[in-house]
DNA sequence: ATCCTTGTTAACGGTTTGTTGACACCCCCA
DNA sequence: TGGGGGTGTCAACAAACCGTTAACAAGGAT
């Protein structure tokens, strides 16, 4: 879900936009000062920032500079001033679009889609690595490197049996050629549910995620009590991703509370 | 130097903008029709396109679609129409910004800098190759090379029967002459829908594309649930493009999630 | 020691997907 | 105006996949 930070000092505008954007499926975070905007952008890490230029504590261009110092998040300016000088200043400071009030909500939404579209395509795709596993959240792709030292280990267990859920039509195939001393990199095929679970966990690196949160985000609110799903699927993920599934090092259990992804 | 393609049918505007942009250090290419814009974009490969919506030969949104079919070059719309409906249509078709006339040249230049700032980082080759297939996104053309080793194989199966979905009036004809040791290269004819599907997939190489995204981009938002279209058309594409359509290596299914183009 | 939570494995069956074929529509052409 | 090839849409069936469930083992806490 796209997360939008709205920065405006007029409560009624803030409220109207929050309602509108939430109704369109955006996740909304708000701030009503420039300083609040900068700290909210750092903590909430929004996908888009909507910034009103007429803030009480800071000049709008200063806010843009403050953001651009460390992030390339798309910034859409809302302003009552339609003068060319203001637009040029804001755009050259690093804003991506400039809309003058009054504006239509449809136009705002279309412009948000436009900047989000561009913003989403570029930039380092969010890649998470742990152990020998690489998770590409944008491409929905998981790869796992296997040591080639002994040459025989790999997706096939020591007993030669195909481990359940790996191989068997799911894997695309080896990328490496298996030559001695080289690493083999295999695609790890995850089902929709497995992927959803892994996504939630790696999105909160190092943090404890409660069972309830996992169940609602992956299965839906009605599954809040089906904790055995978590056990089954954590087991599957560990089988596919952990070097020693019986002694997980990255997908950890916090008994009585939930699970934790340890990078 | 940044190359800008200006598309407008009013000579005086064309002239004024050419002078202004050249004075600012831009290289300027012009076109005064939609068709001319598409061919100029393909041959001149501009860094930015400035597009007037009121062209005589094509609807502006069609031009945007024609460009977005193969390139992500930033598109800035100029239009006399300020209605929300026009803006939304153009932006959702893939435009990056929308400026209503009359406009200040300073604002235009600032918006060009804003889109160029982001656009310069990407840019993909309009030609995609995988296996024996070459996809030219700019020319809307797909070719497939056949091994000439045994001399008899090709679009005709070993039993002499025309393989379903290829050939059968679709192929334009052999380009190669079939001499021993040479490769034969055949045009692969794709229908509009097939092309749209392939375009979306190869535009996101290696990434998973959800069923919803494919359906909305190729068929439209109202077809979001018609997943059987995807199955039918993926089958057709595999028949035409995969060496072994039953075991696709490049047009892959991710069960429950979507499809992936694997270069 | 016993109970509760968690881990592990296997199997069933519904759902999704692949595949084929039929049919209506449209445009071009005679 | 009628015919025919090409295309989009839809239905039906087979096959593969994966969510769900069950059963039991293991570990830890009270």
Is A14 in the same domain as A113?
Answer: yes
B41-72: per-residue pLDDT in tens?
A: 888 889 999 999 988 888 888 889 888 878 88
pLDDT of residue A6: 97
Domain count, chain A: 3
Q: Alpha carbon of B109 to those of A37, A143, B23, B222: distances in Å?
A: 28, 44, 12, 38
Report the candidate in B103, B7, B109 with the shortest Cα–Cα distance to residue B51.
B7
Q: What does the alpha-carbon distance between residue A163 and residue A260 come to, in Å, rounded to a whole number? A: 24
**Average pLDDT for residues A223-249, to the nearest whole number?**
89
Is A214 in the same domain as A184?
Answer: no
Is A107 in the same domain as A48?
Answer: yes
A76-108: per-residue pLDDT in tens?
A: 999 999 899 999 999 999 999 999 988 999 999
B106/A91 CB distance under 8 A: no
Residue with the bigger pLDDT between A167 and A132: it is A132
Looking at chain A, which residue has its C-alpha nearest residue B260?
A139
A140/B107 CB distance under 8 A: no
Is B27 in the same domain as B71?
Answer: yes
pLDDT of residue A31: 95
Percent of chain A with pLDDT over 70: 83
Nearest CB among B106, B114, B121 relative to A122 is that of: B121
B175-205: per-residue pLDDT in tens?
A: 334 444 555 677 788 888 888 899 889 888 8
Is B102 in the same domain as B34?
Answer: yes
Place of tokens 């944008």: A138
pLDDT of residue B256: 85
**In the structure, what pLDDT confidence band is assigned to residue A204 with cuts at 50, 70 and 90?**
confident
pLDDT of residue A147: 63
Domain with A168, as residue range(s), is: 127-188
Confidence check: pLDDT of B242 > 80? yes
**In the structure, what pLDDT confidence band is assigned to residue A115 with cuts at 50, 70 and 90?**
very high
Q: What does the alpha-carbon distance between residue B36 and residue B51 come to, in Å, rounded to a whole number? A: 12
Choose the final residue of a domain: B91, B118, B145: B118
Is B156 in the same domain as B97?
Answer: no
Confidence check: pLDDT of A169 > 60? no
Helices (H) and strands (E) in chain B, counts: 8, 12
Q: Report the nearest residue to nucleotide D16, CA vs C1'.
A: A169
Report the candidate in B136, B107, B148 with the shortest Cα–Cα distance to residue B20.
B107
Is B201 in the same domain as B222?
Answer: yes
pLDDT of residue A167: 33
Is A198 in the same domain as A184?
Answer: no
A140/B257 CB distance under 8 A: yes
Choose the final residue of a domain: B98, B118, B138: B118
Q: What does the alpha-carbon distance between residue B102 and residue B80 come to, in Å, rounded to a whole number? A: 7
Cross-strand pairs, B209? B259
A12-66: per-residue pLDDT in tens?
A: 999 999 999 998 888 899 999 999 999 999 888 899 999 999 999 999 999 999 9
Q: Which residues lie closer than 8 Å to B36 by C-beta, 6 or more apart?
A: B7
């Amino acid at each position: 879900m796209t997360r939008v930070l709205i920065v405006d000092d007029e409560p009624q505008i803030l409220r109207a936009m929050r309602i509108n954007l939430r109704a369109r499926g955006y996740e909304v975070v708000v701030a009503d000062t420039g300083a609040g905007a900068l700290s909210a952008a750092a903590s909430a890490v929004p996908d888009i920032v909507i910034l009103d230029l007429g803030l009480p504590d800071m000049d709008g261009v200063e806010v843009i500079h403050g953001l651009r110092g460390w992030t390339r998040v798309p910034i859409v300016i809302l302003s009552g001033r339609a003068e060319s000088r203001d637009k040029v200043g804001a755009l050259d400071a690093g804003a991506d679009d400039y809309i003058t009030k009054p504006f239509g909500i449809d136009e705002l939404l279309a412009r948000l889609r436009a900047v989000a579209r561009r913003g989403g395509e570029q930039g380092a795709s969010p890649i998470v690595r742990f152990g020998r596993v690489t998770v590409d959240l944008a491409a929905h792709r998981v790869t796992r490197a296997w040591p080639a030292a002994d040459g025989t280990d790999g997706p096939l267990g020591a007993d030669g049996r195909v481990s359940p859920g790996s191989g068997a039509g799911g894997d695309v195939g080896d990328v490496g050629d298996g030559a001695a001393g080289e690493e083999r990199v295999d695609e790890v095929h995850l089902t929709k549910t497995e992927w959803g679970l892994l996504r939630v966990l790696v999105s909160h690196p190092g943090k404890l995620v409660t069972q309830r949160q996992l169940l609602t985000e992956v299965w839906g609110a009605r599954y809040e009590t089906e904790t055995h799903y978590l056990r089954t699927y954590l087991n599957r993920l560990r089988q596919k991703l952990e070097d020693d599934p019986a002694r997980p090092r990255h997908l950890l259990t916090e008994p009585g509370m939930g699970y934790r992804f340890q990078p």
